[in-house]
Structure 1
Amino acid sequence: MIFQILETFTLVSGLVYIFLQVRQNRWMWPIDVLCCFAAIVVFAHQSLWASMGLNIYYLVMGFAGWFSWKRDAKKTGENGIRIRQMSAMARIGSLLGFVASFVFLYWALKVTADPSPFADALVGASGIVGTVLLVRSYLENWYVWLFSDTLSLLLCFMQGLYFMAILYLVYTAMAVVGLLEWRRDGKYID
């Protein structure tokens, strides 16, 4: 019963979070922290260790995102979507970070009771990279989220986490909306 309540809370707070993310509203970050806390408990209960660990990471990055976006808002004004141009070095670093994270997570998950180590490692590695790109306001974060959220949707559905699967379905759709809105309305900074 408690896990169903937490899963429902994660769904509702996650919907609020993604709406605010698309609008690049920095209040998304405290909502994210609450959502992640509930998701940590749900994923731990299902023994999805990488997803649980990823939500611990998201929780910590929620604080980093709050301060980063607050600083950017002071530099550029409150209104508008602020995005950064991703350099070639940042792209290479992101790819290397993804590969290193995937290899480590896959190895770690093989020695645990994780029911889907390959998929869980892919979700974990892409979530790590996607969050860094989001905190830095790179447009490319949306491409990573399209991949990660689609895979998370399938993983949650296969594990019987239907409310979480609905959340990731909405996240996937909103990643498309976010990409289009940031492309259309974004103003490059730096």
Structure 2
Amino acid sequence: MSGLEIVAVIVSALAVWLTARRNIWCWPVGCVSVMFYSQIFFDAKLYSDLLLQLIFFVMQLYGWWHWTRNRTHSQTLPDASRDEDKVHIMPRRLSVAGCWVGLMIGAAGSLLLGYVMARFTDAHIPWLDSALTSFSLVAQYWMARKYIVNWWLWIAVDVIYIGVYVYKDLQLTAGLYAMFIILAIVGLRNWRRELLQYESATPSVSLAAQNY
């Protein structure tokens, strides 16, 4: 356990908590946490996770732009907070077909990245690490697009990550991912409640897609 890991854990937990609250500051705080963990994973030879952090940095910028571009005014939503930093983005439903497409992309990315890491690097547990990296990218994209299903995928990925980080002697980070699971449950509950309130106030909203 290092001082850098302690700081990274605190910043990362703050970023996820802000995401669950739909606060736009989740994205710049997330950028800072990504930079910290890039160094941590490089030192631990978790190269797929290092690559993930670099891609996450770009996706954090994309999410920041997308949420800002698609924010709604609080007065248009029932019982909404007037906190200006809270982005009143409307959570969205993802169809079953869309969900399967995302999962298949995650599986394909797992195989491709796993082969590269196993063949050309000295990465530890390259196949599992690559699978977690690939599906994390899918979850991050779904989050940026405001799909509620992102929380379910994060929960599944985080459960496995806990075991990986315990194995790599990153106990504090493993504890962080246990906290992530709790925050993901909170985020799932908050986003679903927001969407249901909006649908109750606007009956014309289509309910054709499945909610996850």
Task: With the length of structure 1 as denominator, give the TM-score of the two structures.
Answer: 0.91
Provide, for residues 65-103 of structure 1, a one-character-per-residue CA deviation record: whole Å limited to 9, x for no partner: 000000111xx2155452112134422320221111111
Change (3 A) 1:81 1:68: closer
1:97 aligns with 2:97: no
- Whole-angstrom distance in 1 between the partners of 2:194 and 2:70: 16
2:38/2:53 contact within 8 Å kept: yes
The secondary structure found in structure 2 opposite 1:25 is coil
CA RMSD of aligned residues (A): 1.8
The secondary structure found in structure 1 opposite 2:90 is strand
1:50 aligns with 2:48: yes
* Range 111-120 or range 15-24, more displaced: 111-120
Give the CA deviation at 1:26: 1.3
User: Which residue of 2 is the match for residue 120 of structure 1?
Assistant: 129
Give the CA deviation at 1:144: 0.8
1:1-190 matched pairs, under 5 angstroms: 4-73=2-71, 76-78=72-74, 80=88, 82-111=90-119, 112-186=121-195, 187=198
Q: Which structure dedicates a bigger proportion of its chain to helix?
A: 1
Structure 1: give runs of 5+ residues left out of the alignment. none
Structure 2: give runs of 5+ residues left out of the alignment. 75-79, 81-87, 200-204, 207-212
2:111/2:131 contact within 8 Å kept: no
User: Which structure: larger Rg?
Assistant: 2
Aligned partner of 2:139: which letter?
Answer: G
Give the CA deviation at 1:179: 1.1
Task: With the length of structure 2 as denominator, give the TM-score of the two structures.
Answer: 0.82
Give the CA deviation at 1:160: 0.3
- Whole-angstrom distance in 2 between the partners of 1:24 and 1:119: 31
1:81/1:182 contact within 8 Å kept: no
Aligned partner of 1:29: which letter?
Answer: W
* Range 82-91 or range 127-136, more displaced: 82-91
- Whole-angstrom distance in 1 between the partners of 2:194 and 2:97: 25
- Whole-angstrom distance in 1 between the partners of 2:105 and 2:27: 23
Give the CA deviation at 1:16: 0.7
- Whole-angstrom distance in 2 between the partners of 1:39 and 1:178: 22
Provide, for residues 1-28 of structure 1, a one-character-per-residue CA deviation record: whole Å limited to 9, x for no partner: xx81221111010111111011111110
Aligned partner of 1:61: which letter?
Answer: M
